[in-house]
Structure 1
């Protein structure tokens, strides 16, 4: 057993689009005329847009379809994505991606984000050349904490699960990796609040701690 593939979550791990999603969602709530509590919003962490919209439709008896709400939100999000000054890669992640790539590790993106958002991020920050594959959880039947996205990512990397490592930052993502029986490194992001790292195999606050020589004892 040795480390051959790293399966990256995107949000909160590679980029922090959370503040952009938050601004876009709250503008959407305002447009829909609904009052979403911080508690309800926090429960959406790591969930697909469809799941969020379905929950809103149900909780607030909205007479809009999932697609209509998603479109409103997507337009706000795009605006912030290209125009928000503060939006950048998470500190140290580009160096870590380059480090794995130079050492022949297969990189797969396994995110709950839509492929549109994934492609936007990859294009904006020029990440395409480092990754062998990308999976959007939004295209799958099950979303995290279901393990499907990581099992597919391991398959895409052509590696058994014991040669893979997942990098995640959310309770749902960590649980999905755990259920997939894949070693999980949790990144304790300054932005991810109230996430549970109990099921992670290691927890780091600095990406340097995930360099190959630092984690070699696990593989």
Structure 2
């Protein structure tokens, strides 16, 4: 990709294969407290890539269930702790892509709706933290994705122009934030529900190996 100076990665579902992890944490809570049988397809279609606040609105829309954010925050994090987030694997070809970018002297940033302690812990666990030059996490913005402010902040931190940066995302929520910030966006997912919503992305691929090829 000509004149590429930096790549901004999303985190969940893009660099780490975490959607199944989150689904497995939410499923028993919805079943026990609300008698809702959540399946993975519904999770991907309606919940993946969104903040807790947005997911609570989705519960109201889908099942007419109202629940306080404090309750879901506490119960989901209890389940996350029981499962151990360090068991979440990297997405296939993520490590190879990051090492390629480092070799090419292309700088790397992270733009995520996840929280900084989680990001730091997991990237350190996989020996990748040192390769990231900038981080924009949930604590850094008032309005999360799909609002473009997270990518606008990342651009300011990087010092590069929009034409010199590409974003990599796995959901329409994240891709919309990148596109609305004026960036090219490579969407990467095998999930049909997401692929159907990502026709506006600059590129749409099934895995990060394909991304590696186009960036060469």
Per the shorter chain, which TM-score range? 0.7 to 0.9
Equivalent residue for 1:119?
120
Does the residue aligned with 2:193 lie in a helix, a strand or coil?
Answer: coil
Where does residue 153 of structure 2 map in the other structure? Answer: 152
Does residue 1:60 correspond to 2:65, yes or no?
Answer: yes
Name 1:75's counterpart in structure 2: 78
Assess if the C-alpha contact under 8 Å between 1:7 and 1:154 holds in 2.
no
Kept in 2: contact 1:48–1:137 (CA 8 A): no
How has the CA–CA distance of structure 1 residues 154 and 45 changed in structure 2, closer, same or farther, with 3 Å as cutoff? same
Do the aligned partners of 1:151 and 1:161 also contact (CA within 8 Å) in 2? no
The TM-score with structure 1 as length reference comes to 0.84
Distance in 1 between residues matched to 2:42 and 2:208, nearest whole Å: 30
In the TM superposition, residue 177 of structure 1 has moved relative to its aligned partner by 1.3
Correspondences of 1:12-161 after superposition (within 5 Å)? 12-35=13-36, 38=39, 41=43, 42-53=45-56, 55-56=58-59, 59-62=64-67, 65-82=68-85, 84=87, 87-137=88-138, 139-161=140-162
Asked whether the equivalents of residues 86 and 122 of structure 2 are also in contact (C-alpha less than 8 Å), the reply is no
How far apart, CA to CA, are the structure 2 residues paired with 1:182 and 1:81? 34
Question: Structure 2 CA distance, aligned partners of 1:108 and 1:120?
Answer: 16
In structure 1, how many angstroms separate the alpha carbons of the residues matched to 2:174 and 2:134? Answer: 18
Could you tell me how far 1:3 is from its partner in structure 2? 0.7
Number of paired residues? 209
Q: 1:193 to 1:114 in 2, by over 3 A?
A: farther
Indicate the SS of the match to 1:116. helix
Instruction: Describe the SS at the equivalent of 2:168.
Output: strand
Q: How much does 1:34 deviate?
A: 4.3
1:90 Cα offset (Å): 0.9
The 8 Å contact of residues 31 and 37 in structure 2, kept in 1 or not, is answered as: no
Q: Give the equivalent residue in structure 2 for 1:215.
A: 215
Q: Gaps spanning 5+ residues in structure 2: where?
A: none
Quote the offset at 1:51 in angstroms.
2.4
What's 2:193 paired with? 194
Q: CA deviation at 1:79?
A: 2.1
Question: Would you say the 8 A contact 2:86–2:125 is kept in 1?
Answer: no
Q: Aligned Cα RMSD in Å?
A: 2.4
